[in-house]
Amino acid sequence: MLELLASIMAELGDIFSQFESLYNKRWFKYFSITFLVILIAIIGKAIYK
């Protein structure tokens, strides 16, 4: 389960780094971090029901 989560996070990291090179703006950086935190919280709730 953790390996799956790690691979998902790596994929998201690649996607966000591509986005960051496209936009490279401070607001986008904060948005992507917030989005990741929310995503982790949702996944965590789904796993630990």
Q: What is the tens place of the pLDDT at every residue in 3-46?
A: 887 888 788 778 777 776 666 666 666 887 898 899 999 998 98
Q: Does any domain span residue 8? A: no
- The percent of the chain in helix, strand and coil, each rounded to the nearest 5, is 90, 0, 10
Domain extent for 30 = 23-49
Quote the distance between the C-alpha of residue 48 and its chain's center: 19
Q: Does any domain span residue 4? A: no
- Residue-wise pLDDT for 3-14, tens only, equals 887 888 788 778
Residues 20 and 29: beta-carbon distance below 8 Å? yes
Dihedral, CA of residue 19, residue 22, residue 27 and residue 31, to nearest 10: -10
Residue 27: what pLDDT? 67
Residue 22: what pLDDT? 64
**How many folded domains does the chain comprise?**
1
